[in-house]
A and B are shown apart, each in its own frame.
Chain A
Amino acid sequence: MNNLQSLSLYWPELILTVTVLITIIADLFYSPKESGRTALWVLGGLFLAYIAIKVQDSTIVTTLFMGNLAFDPFASFFKTLILFATVLVIFISQRTSELDGHRTGEYYALMAIMVFGMFLMVSAIDLIMVYLAIEIVSISSFILAGYLRGDLRSNEAALKYVIYGAFSSGIMLFGLSIVFGLAGSTKFFAIQEAMWNLEGSANFAFTLATVFILAGFGYKISAVPFHFWTPDVYEGAPTSITAYLSVAPKAAGFALAIRFFNQVFGDGGSFIDPSLTTYTELPWPQLLAALAVVTMTLGNLVAMQQNNIKRMLAYSSIAHAGYMLMALPTLSSQGVYAVMIYLVMYMFMNLGAFFVVIYVKSQGGGESFDDFRGLGWKMPIVGIVMTIFMLSLTGIPPTAGFIGKFYLFAAIINAGPQMYWLAIIGAINSVISLYYYMRVVKVMFFEGKSSETVLVPSIPVLLIFMVLAIPSVVFGVYWTPIANWVSQSLIFFTQVI
Chain B
Amino acid sequence: MDTSILSWIIWIPVIGMAAIALIPREKVKTIKMVTAVATGIQFLATLGLWSRFEESNGGFQFMERAEWIPSFNITYILGVDGLSLPMVILTGLLFFLGTFVSWNINRAQKGYFALYLLLNTGVMGVFLSLDFFLFYVFWEVMLLPMYFLIGMWGGPQREYAAIKFFLYTLFGSVLMLIAILALYFTCGRTFDMLQLMQTAPTALDGVMFWGMSAIKVIWVMLFIGFAIKVPVFPFHTWLPLAHVEAPTAISVILAGILLKLGVYGILRINYTMLPVAVWWFAGALALLGLINVIWGAMCALAQKDLKKLVAYSSVNHMGYLLIGMAAVIAAGEANGHNLLAAQAGLGGAVFQMFNHGTISAMLFILVGVIYERAHHRDIEGFGGLATSMPIYSGIVAVAFFAGLGLPGLSGFVSEAMCFIGAFPVFKAIVIASTLGILLNAAYFLWAFQRMFMGEMNEKYKELPEINKMELFTVIPLLVITVFFGIYPRPFLDLISSTMNVIIDTVANMGGIAGVF
Residues of A within 8 A of B (CB): 391, 396-398, 402, 406, 409-410, 413-414, 417, 420, 423-424, 427-428, 430-431, 434-435, 438, 442, 445-446, 450, 478-480, 483-484, 487
B55 within 8 A of A: no
Identify B71's interface contact among A428, A430, A434, A483, CB under 8 A.
A483
Q: Which of B157-208 touch A at CB < 8 Å?
A: 158-159, 162-163, 166-167, 170-171, 174-175, 177-178, 181-182, 184-185, 208
Structural contact, A420 and B177, CB atoms closer than 8 A = no
With A450-B107, A484-B71 given, is the CB distance from A435 to B167 under 8 Å?
yes
For B159, the closest partner residue in chain A by CB is A446
Q: Are A434 and B167 in contact (CB under 8 A)?
A: yes
Q: At the interface, yes or no: B144 with Cβ under 8 Å from chain A?
A: yes
Answer whether residue B152 sits at the interface, using C-beta atoms and an 8 A cutoff: yes
Which of the residues B72, B108, B167 comes within 8 Å of A450, measured between beta carbons?
B108
Assess A483 versus B182: contact at CB under 8 Å? Given A435-B163, A445-B152.
no
Closest residue to A447 on the B side, CB-wise?
B159
Q: Are A446 and B158 neighbours in the complex by a CB distance under 8 Å?
A: yes
Whether A434 and B166, one on each chain, are in contact in the complex, defined by CB atoms closer than 8 angstroms, is yes
Closest-by-CB residue of A relative to B136 is A397
Chain A residues with CB below 8 A from B178, complex form: 409, 413, 420, 423-424, 427
> A396 and B144 in contact (CB under 8 A), knowing A435-B167, A487-B71?
yes
- B175 to A483, Cβ gap below 8 A? no
| 47-80 of chain B: CB within 8 A of chain A | 68-72
A431 & B171 in contact (Cβ 8 Å cutoff):
yes
Assess the B141–A417 pair: CB atoms within 8 A: no
Measured in the bound complex, the distance between the Cα atoms of B136 and A402 in whole Å is: 11
Assess whether A410 is in contact with B174, with CB atoms less than 8 Å apart. Answer: no
B185 lies within 8 A of A414 (CB): yes
- B18 nearest CB across to chain A (Å): 14
Q: How far does the alpha carbon of A417 sit from the alpha carbon of B207 in the complex, in Å?
A: 10
- Taking A396-B140, A442-B159 as given, write out 7 further A-B residue pairs in contact, using a Cβ cutoff of 8 Å, ordered by the A residue number: A410-B72, A410-B184, A414-B185, A427-B178, A434-B170, A445-B152, A446-B151
User: Is the C-beta of B472 less than 8 angstroms from some C-beta in chain A?
Assistant: no
For the complex formed, measure the closest distance between the CB of A464 and the CB atoms of chain B, giving whole angstroms.
21
A427→B180 CA distance, assembly (Å): 13
Is B148 within 8 A of A445, CB to CB?
Answer: yes
Q: Provided the pairs A445-B151, A483-B72 are in contact, do residues A430 and B181 lie with their beta carbons within 8 angstroms?
A: no
- Complex formed: what's the CA distance from A484 to B72 in Å? 11
Chain B interface, DSSP helix/strand/loop, else mixed:
helix
In the complex, A391→B166 CA distance in Å?
Answer: 12
Interface-central residue, A428, A480, A487, by most chain B CB under 10 Å: A480
Within 8 Å by CB of A417, from B69, B158, B210, lies B210
Bound complex: CA of A230 vs CA of B148, how far in Å?
32
- Known contacts: A396-B140, A434-B167. The answer to whether A428 contacts B182 by CB under 8 A is no
What are 23 of the A-B contact pairs (CB < 8 Å)? Answer: A396-B144, A397-B136, A406-B177, A410-B72, A413-B182, A413-B185, A417-B210, A430-B170, A431-B174, A434-B170, A435-B163, A438-B166, A442-B151, A442-B159, A442-B163, A445-B148, A445-B151, A446-B162, A450-B107, A478-B68, A480-B71, A483-B72, A487-B71
> Interface residues, chain B, CB within 8 Å of chain A?
68-72, 107-108, 136-137, 140-141, 143-144, 147-148, 151-152, 158-159, 162-163, 166-167, 170-171, 174-175, 177-178, 181-182, 184-185, 208-210, 214
Judging by beta carbons under 8 Å apart, are B69 and A480 in contact? yes
Binding site secondary structure of chain A: helix
Docked pose: A410 CA to B108 CA in angstroms: 40
Instruction: Decide: B182 and A398 in contact? CB cutoff 8 A.
Output: no
One of B70, B143, B181 near A413 (C-beta < 8 A): B181
Q: Is the CB of B69 within 8 A of A483?
A: yes
Is the pair B158, A409 in contact by a Cβ cutoff of 8 Å? no
Contact of B163 among A414, A438, A479 (CB under 8 A): A438
Once the chains are docked, how many angstroms separate the CA of A434 from the CA of B182?
24
Chain A residues positioned under 8 Å from B159 (CB to CB): 442, 446
For residue B222, give the distance in angstroms from its CB to the closest CB of chain A.
Answer: 14
Chain B residues closer than 8 Å to A414, beta-carbon distance: 181, 185
CB distance from B24 to the nearest CB of A (A): 11
Check A417 against B209 for contact (C-beta < 8 Å).
Answer: yes
Chain A residue at minimal CB-CB distance from B168? A431
The 10 A-B residue pairs whose C-beta atoms are closest, nearest first, are A427-B174, A413-B181, A417-B209, A397-B137, A397-B140, A431-B171, A446-B151, A483-B71, A431-B170, A414-B185
Closest residue of A by beta carbon distance from B178: A423
A385 CB, nearest partner CB in chain B, Å: 14
Q: Which residues of B contact A391 (CB under 8 A)?
A: 144
Chain B contacts for A434, CB-based, 8 A: 166-167, 170
Closest Cβ neighbor of A417 among chain B residues:
B209
Q: Which residues of chain A are near B209, meaning CB under 8 Å?
A: 417, 420
CB neighbours of A410 from chain B (8 A): 72, 181, 184-185
| Contact status B185-A430, CB under 8 Å | no
The smallest C-beta distance from A59 to any residue of chain B, in angstroms, reads 21
Contacts of A406 in B (CB 8 A): 177
What B residues does A409 contact at CB under 8 A?
Answer: 177-178, 181
| Nearest CB on B from A404, distance (A) | 13
Among residues of B, the one whose C-beta sits closest to the C-beta of A480 is B69
Residues of B within 8 A of A484 (CB): 71
| Cα distance A480–B73 in the bound complex, in angstroms | 11
A456–chain B nearest beta-carbon distance, Å: 13
Measured CB to CB, the nearest residue on chain B to A405 is: B177
Residues of chain A within 8 A (CB-CB) of B170 are: 396, 430-431, 434
In the assembled complex, the Cα of A268 lies from the Cα of B229 at a distance in Å of 46
How long is the Cα–Cα vector from A483 to B71 in the complex, in angstroms? Answer: 8
Contacts of A435 in B (CB 8 A): 163, 167
Q: B167 — which chain A residues lie within 8 A by C-beta?
A: 431, 434-435
| Chain A residues positioned under 8 Å from B166 (CB to CB) | 434, 438
Q: Most chain-B CB neighbours within 10 Å: which of A396, A423, A430?
A: A396
Q: What residues on A are CB-neighbors of B143 within 8 Å?
A: 396
For the complex, give the distance between the alpha carbons of A430 and B162 in Å.
Answer: 17
Q: Are A479 and B69 also in contact (CB < 8 A) when A420-B209, A431-B170 are?
A: yes
